[in-house]
């Protein structure tokens, strides 16, 4: 378990390499949802995603001697880019395993970093290959979500939100593996115990809700298809253990709702956001744990939208 001090230490470690992203009000989403909506623009991070926070904090935690072993990670795309960014900063070798279904927008960005990218058929296969590689080569694993160092790094976004706006009623965060909402929840509820935490997932992959309902942590969860690949699949043990205490509401949004949110962001905010990044905004119409008129921050988690999906949404 980590606390607010751990998250603040993570913030000091990664501050030179990330942006303190804005918490920007949205006239459009405020008017159409009935909430006072503010967007935490993590899509503006150097790699286009919040994932860089956790990846950097894990890499920073390794000693200079340990870093000589190199690092390995598996990722749907954004975490891998965060690890690649960190590997460049600390000048260490990195190997990243990504699924063949990773959007081109994410794959293309890897060319800017001195890392080796390997592909496998599925995310689960990437994890298997990554763990085998770590065992064989002695590389250090940078886990995308189920590591307290990752959680502490992601939690720095929660500190920034609460420092930017002292009188928030709720925070909405998309949930994939659960590292982001875990870190933000620990930070936010320590700074303001009255704040509500709302988890948003794709209805195609309701792994958090199903895990809590069935009292079984689904670390692997079958998903036929979702445009929000960044939040598809299973959750980690950390968020499973934290959720009963720290998460006040779980909302699952349909694929069409995510598409609509992406289009609205383009039309009314002039902002291109990937599908998993728009899940939080897509969930606002279903929020029940706070009344209309409440002040809500929504984490916009990533910008790396597949151009083919963008074309499909716009036509």
Whether 4-49+148-314 and 51-141 share one fold: the answer is: yes
pLDDT in tens, 162-201: 999 989 999 999 999 999 999 999 999 999 999 999 999 9
Q: If you ran DSSP here, which 8-state letter would residue 139 be given?
A: P
Give the pLDDT of residue 268. Answer: 98
**58-86 mean pLDDT:** 97
Provide the pLDDT confidence category of residue 78 given band limits of 50, 70 and 90: very high
Name the maximum alpha-carbon separation found in the chain.
55
129-142 pLDDT, tens digit each: 999 999 999 999 99
Domain ranges of the chain: 4-49+148-314, 51-141
CATH topology of domain 51-141: Rossmann fold (3.40.50)
Q: DSSP of 80-126, one letter per residue?
A: HHHHHHHHHHHT--EEEEEETT--HHHHHHGGGSS-EEEEESSHHHH
Instruction: Kindly report the CATH number that applies to the domain delimited by 4-49+148-314.
Output: 3.40.50.1100
Q: Any idea what DSSP says for residue 215?
A: T
200: left (phi over 0), alpha (psi -120 to 50) or beta: beta
pTM for this structure?
0.97
| Rounded Cα gap, residues 97 and 133, in angstroms | 10
User: Span 96-110, mean pLDDT?
Assistant: 93
**pLDDT single digits (tens) 14-67:** 999 999 999 999 999 999 999 999 999 999 999 999 999 999 999 999 999 999
Instruction: Enter the DSSP assignment of 43.
Output: G
pLDDT digits (tens, 9 = 90+) for 250-296: 999 999 999 999 999 999 999 999 999 999 999 999 999 999 999 99
Q: How far apart, in whole angstroms, are the C-alpha atoms of residue 184 and residue 237?
A: 16
Q: How far apart are CA 156 and CA 180, in angstroms?
A: 9
Q: Say what the pLDDT of residue 82 is.
A: 98
| Percentage of residues in the chain having pLDDT higher than 90 | 95
Contact partners, residue 280, CB within 8 Å, separation at least 6:
172, 173, 174, 200, 298, 299, 300, 301
Q: Rounded mean pLDDT of 220-233? A: 92
Has residue 224 got a pLDDT over 90?
A: no
What is the average pLDDT score of the chain? 97
Q: What is the CA radius of gyration of the chain?
A: 18
Q: What pLDDT does residue 315 have?
A: 83
DSSP-derived pairing of the beta strands 295-300 and 170-174 = parallel
Torsion-angle region of 149 (φ positive above 0: left; ψ -120 to 50: alpha; else: beta): alpha
Kindly state the tokens that stand for 38: 């503010």
The pairing of beta strand 23-25 with beta strand 36-41: antiparallel
């Amino acid at each position: 378990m980590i606390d607010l001090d751990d998250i603040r230490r993570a913030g000091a470690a990664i501050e030179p390499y990330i942006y303190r992203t804005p918490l920007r009000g949205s006239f459009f989403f405020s008017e159409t949802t009935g909430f006072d909506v503010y967007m935490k623009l993590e899509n503006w991070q150097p790699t286009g995603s919040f994932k860089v926070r956790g990846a950097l904090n894990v890499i920073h935690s390794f000693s200079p001697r340990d870093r000589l072993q190199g690092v390995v990670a598996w990722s749907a795309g954004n975490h891998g880019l965060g690890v690649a960014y960190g590997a460049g900063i600390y000048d260490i070798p990195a190997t990243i395993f990504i699924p063949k279904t990773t959007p081109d927008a994410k794959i293309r960005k890897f060319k800017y970093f001195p890392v080796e990218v390997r592909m496998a058929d599925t995310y689960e296969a990437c994890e298997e290959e990554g763990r085998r590689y770590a065992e064989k080569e002695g590389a250090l694993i940078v886990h995308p979500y189920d590591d307290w160092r990752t959680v502490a790094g992601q939690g720095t976004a929660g500190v920034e939100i609460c420092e930017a706006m002292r009188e928030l009623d709720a925070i909405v965060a998309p949930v994939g593996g659960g590292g982001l909402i875990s870190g933000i929840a620990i930070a936010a509820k320590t700074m303001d115990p009255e704040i509500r935490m709302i988890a948003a997932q794709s209805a195609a992959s309701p792994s958090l809700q199903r895990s809590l309902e069935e009292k079984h942590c689904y670390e692997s969860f079958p998903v036929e298809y979702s445009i929000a690949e960044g939040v598809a699949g299973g959750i980690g043990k950390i968020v499973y253990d934290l959720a009963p205490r720290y998460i006040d509401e779980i909302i699952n949004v349909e694929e069409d709702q995510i598409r609509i949110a992406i289009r609205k962001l383009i039309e009314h905010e002039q902002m291109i956001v990937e599908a998993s990044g728009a899940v939080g905004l897509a969930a606002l119409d279903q929020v029940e744990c706070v009344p209309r008129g409440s002040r809500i921050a929504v984490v916009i988690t990533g910008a790396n939208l597949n151009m083919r999906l963008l074309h499909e949404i716009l036509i």
